C-alpha cells in the first residue's frame, strides 16, 4: 500500500471511529485518546493527520460530500439529481451532520460546501444557458450568489434540527432555481 493510500486509510479509520463514538457521547466529551485507543493507533499518528478533533470533523465533512464529485463528473446527472442526492444524504446522516455543524462552525462548513455547490450551480447555469440568457459578465456573480444562498440555507437547516422534511428542502431549491435561473434575462432600458 502506498504512503498516500495508507494515510487516507488511517484518516478514514479515525473518522469511522469518531462516527461510532458520537453515537455514545457528545462530541465535546470525546477525546483524542478515545479515538486512538479505539482505532489501535497512538496519539502522534492522530496529530500527524489532524490538529484536533474539529479538524478531523472538517475533513470528515469533505469526505462525506466527496461522493457529489462523482455526480458532477457524470454528464448524464442533472442538477436536480445532484442536489436531491446531497439533501437526501444529509437527511440520512442527520446525526453526524449535526455534530459536524455544531463542531466545525458556520464559516468553515460553508467554505467546505462552497466549491461543491458552486459547481452544481454553474452546471445549472450552463445547462440552461439558452433559456436564461445570463450575460457572461454576470455568470460568476450569479453562481456565487446562489452558492451562498444554498450553503447558508443548508447550514441553517442542519443547525435547526432538520425539522423541515428533505423533500420540502428539495422543492424549495427547485422552485427558486427554476424561477430564478430559468427565466429570460431582460434588462430594462430607461
pLDDT, tens digit, 9 for 90 and up, residues 87-116: 888 888 787 777 777 766 667 666 767 777
Indicate the pTM of the whole model.
0.70
Query: Residue 167 CB: number of other CB atoms within 10 A?
Result: 12
**Domains of the chain, CATH where assigned:** 3-53 (1.10.10.60), 65-180 (no CATH)
Give the HSE-up count for residue 69: Cα atoms under 13 Å, Cβ half-sphere: 9
Residue 94 pLDDT: 83
Rounded mean pLDDT, 26-46:
91
Q: Name the average pLDDT for the chain.
A: 80
Specify the higher pLDDT residue, 52 or 23. 52
24-30: long-range pairs with CB below 8 Å, 24+: 27/53, 27/57, 27/99, 27/102, 27/103, 28/103
Is the pLDDT reported for residue 63 higher than 90? no
Is the pLDDT reported for residue 175 higher than 60? yes
Amino acid at each position: 500500500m502506498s504512503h498516500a493510500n495508507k494515510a487516507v486509510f488511517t484518516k478514514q479509520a479515525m473518522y469511522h471511529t469518531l462516527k461510532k463514538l458520537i453515537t455514545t457521547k457528545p462530541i465535546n466529551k470525546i477525546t483524542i485518546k478515545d479515538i486512538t485507543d479505539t482505532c489501535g493507533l497512538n496519539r502522534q499518528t492522530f496529530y500527524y493527520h489532524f490538529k484536533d478533533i474539529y479538524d478531523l470533523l472538517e475533513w470528515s465533512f469533505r469526505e462525506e460530500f466527496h461522493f457529489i464529485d462523482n455526480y458532477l463528473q457524470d454528464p448524464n446527472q442533472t442538477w436536480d439529481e445532484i442536489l436531491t442526492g446531497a439533501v437526501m444524504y444529509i437527511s440520512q446522516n442527520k446525526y453526524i451532520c449535526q455534530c459536524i455543524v455544531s463542531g466545525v462552525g458556520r464559516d468553515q462548513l460553508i467554505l467546505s460546501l462552497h466549491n461543491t455547490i458552486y459547481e452544481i450551480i454553474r452546471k445549472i447555469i450552463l445547462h440552461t444557458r439558452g433559456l436564461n440568457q445570463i450575460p457572461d459578465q454576470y455568470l460568476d456573480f450569479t453562481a456565487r450568489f446562489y452558492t451562498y444562498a444554498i450553503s447558508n440555507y443548508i447550514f441553517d437547516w442542519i443547525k435547526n434540527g432538520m425539522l423541515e422534511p428533505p423533500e420540502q428542502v428539495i422543492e424549495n431549491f427547485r422552485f427558486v432555481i427554476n424561477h430564478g435561473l430559468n427565466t429570460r434575462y431582460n434588462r430594462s432600458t430607461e
